[in-house]
Structure 1
Amino acid sequence: MSTTDHYRGVWPVMLTPFDDRREIDWASLEKLIDWYIRAGVNGLFANCQSSEMFFLSEAESLQLTRFVLDYVDGRVPVVASGHTASSLSQQIDQLGRMAETGVDSVILISNRLAMPGEDDGTVLDNLRKITAALPETVGLGIYECPHPYKRLLADEVVDWCARSGRYTFIKDTCCRIGTIARRVELSRGSRLRIANANGQTLLPSLQAGAHGYSGIMTNFHPELYVWLCDNWQAEPEKAEIVAAYLSTASLAEYLDYPICAKDYQKSIGNFASVASRVREAGNYYSAHFQSNMRQMVQLGEIVKKQLALFG
């Protein structure tokens, strides 16, 4: 499969299961990987914010990524980030080590490319330096991660990435159709693909030429995102209904994510614990968020059945 083909479709942002001591639960991770792949996803985004990468040591980040690659064993392509360092030299070392794991692409974090008060010229200058320092054998991507602060990519940065020939993947978090459409045009004719992270704008973004979805709701119902990305043109009326449901369901992001997603994964037998290094689970249960999450999932099952999406 060519790079142009396989950076389309649905790329889950992977959770990291922990045991009750907050150590990585490898057996649960195997179940999660199989669950994603059974849903028909196009690839996996390992070691990202949903993976709690800012709360992993560098050794854990590399171990986690290698484990995913080994267990996937070529069934789908894998990209990974782990780009958490602050200084440029440290970032280059960190990203270089990730490239050595054999991932399809190494994903840079946009807010690591400049401090909040620095301009887009600094972003582009640092991006050029990092790109030149990384091996040409690995693809590169950028994720507009909202932590520790959100930095959206300027048009000139997207244009440079497209023209460089090195970049394969932008995980877009701008949530603006006009911006996404511009990015699609800037990337046209290149190997660069735009994956929307926002469920509310997904269908309009696909209609504008975006190439797929890579967002947190793949940890609840990846098969619905796969269906939408595969069928929005052939079955537009059903696609509008699925998109409306997914847009509403995306509000689950505010139910103490990633606890809500880990609780769902525990409910279907993939995870043994909801433990997270990001936050405690107490508020999730005391605020009745669990009931909200379960009803959101139940409604998705009703939508699948009533629309006969899967035969």
Structure 2
Amino acid sequence: MTKKNNEALEHHSGVWPVMLTPFTENLEIDWKALEKLIDWYIAAGVHGLFANCQSSEMFFLTDKESVALTKFVVDYTDGRVAVVASGHTASAPAQQVEQLQAAAETGVDSVIMISNRLASPDESDAVFLERLQAMTAKIPQKVGVGLYECPYPYKRLLSDEAVKWCAESGRYTFIKDTCCDIKTLTRRAKIVEGSELHIMNANGQTVLESLKAGCHGYSGVMANFHPQLWVWLVENWQSEPEKALLLSEYLTSAALLESLDYPVCAKHYQKSIGNFNTDLSRTRPVAGYYNNHFPTTVMQTLDLGEKIVEMLGISIK
């Protein structure tokens, strides 16, 4: 298979979808559907994949399934794009170490820690940083390290001190940022400037402004619907700013689809285009999604995106 150039693999920028996990009717992982999903992402021109994350329903996978899922994505991707992965779900520190070390052995580019696993809501930033440093030391040197401000079971935002330590450590490559605040994104971009650490914004509404501020790309749920539009935005916002602004305004509105029973809404879309055999999820029942206007809203919103691309004369992969 054709590999991306080394520069693309080394720099954690661009569009990195947070991967879905397809399930069979028995709620087992559907490996054939996962192959189709990976090929679909790559055909859209994405720059990397974030496997085994919250969108992958990692909190609802066994440790064995978690490792198998990550290894499968790495092996099937076969270097076409880089892969980062988490699976960092345990509460007990000893089990967390086992999870992170197992992820490191799958061949991923970087192992992603979940910020809320390192401290409870009432514990200080100082406690968090101390645990972050201790846990980082237990991750094999052969892989990079990242952090994800996962909203579940609670959102733990990183302090400036933690971001600075990560940037200066030489170990960190990737922060999946969920602060949703352009001032914070701008400040973080400045902190990591010149380091190997990249700020990947998960919030669709602030992506364009965060790119202008020096952040490095998009790693959010809407790349499960129209990744090719996000790829165009991050690759062309400087050369075609007027088109980028209009496309960003559409993407900002379309990102509200996330509130319509995600990940079921995304799985429904993947089923509609032939990638998935079911829309089943371990995180929530599907009935609520179909008992209202949600499916129609999803499909009409995505159809509108295609019309906007045509109106703008944008060339999409």
- TM-score grouping bracket, smaller chain normalisation: over 0.9
1:20 Cα shift?
Answer: 1.1
Q: Which amino acid aligns with 1:22?
A: L
Q: Aligned residue pairs: how many?
A: 311
Q: Which amino acid aligns with 1:109?
A: I
C-alpha contact (below 8 Å) 1:6/1:42 kept by paired residues: no
Question: Structure 1: 5+ residue runs without aligned partners?
Answer: none
Aligned-pair RMSD on alpha carbons? 1.0
Which of 211, 216, 227 is matched with 1:211 structurally? Answer: 216
1:87 Cα shift?
Answer: 1.7
Equivalent position of 2:294 in the other structure? 289
Equivalent position of 2:19 in the other structure? 14
1:89 Cα shift?
Answer: 1.7
C-alpha contact (below 8 Å) 1:111/1:144 kept by paired residues: yes
Distance 2:86 2:245 in 1: 33
Which of 41, 50, 56 is matched with 1:36 structurally? Answer: 41
C-alpha contact (below 8 Å) 2:8/2:47 kept by paired residues: no
Equivalent position of 1:245 in the other structure? 250
Tell me the secondary structure at the aligned position of residue 108 of structure 1.
strand
C-alpha contact (below 8 Å) 1:3/1:191 kept by paired residues: no
Distance 1:188 1:92 in 2: 29
The answer to whether 1:146 aligns with 2:154 is no
Tell me the secondary structure at the aligned position of residue 97 of structure 1.
helix
Distance 2:83 2:105 in 1: 13
Equivalent position of 1:257 in the other structure? 262
Alignment of 1:56-67 (within 5 A): 56-67=61-72
Equivalent position of 1:120 in the other structure? 125
Distance 1:2 1:110 in 2: 28
Distance 1:186 1:217 in 2: 27
Equivalent position of 1:300 in the other structure? 305
Distance 2:268 2:60 in 1: 19
Distance 1:6 1:73 in 2: 18
C-alpha contact (below 8 Å) 2:9/2:81 kept by paired residues: no
The answer to whether 1:155 aligns with 2:160 is yes
The answer to whether 1:273 aligns with 2:248 is no
Equivalent position of 1:190 in the other structure? 195
Q: Which amino acid aligns with 2:160?
A: D
Equivalent position of 1:223 in the other structure? 228
Q: Which amino acid aligns with 1:48?
A: C
Q: Which amino acid aligns with 1:235?
A: E
Deviates more, 1:230-239 or 1:299-308: 299-308
The answer to whether 1:201 aligns with 2:206 is yes
Deviations 1:43-80 (A, max 9, x none): 00000000000000000000001111111011000000
Alignment of 1:42-191 (within 5 A): 42-191=47-196
Deviates more, 1:91-100 or 1:4-13: 4-13
1:6 Cα shift?
Answer: 2.8
The answer to whether 1:309 aligns with 2:284 is no
Distance 1:189 1:290 in 2: 44
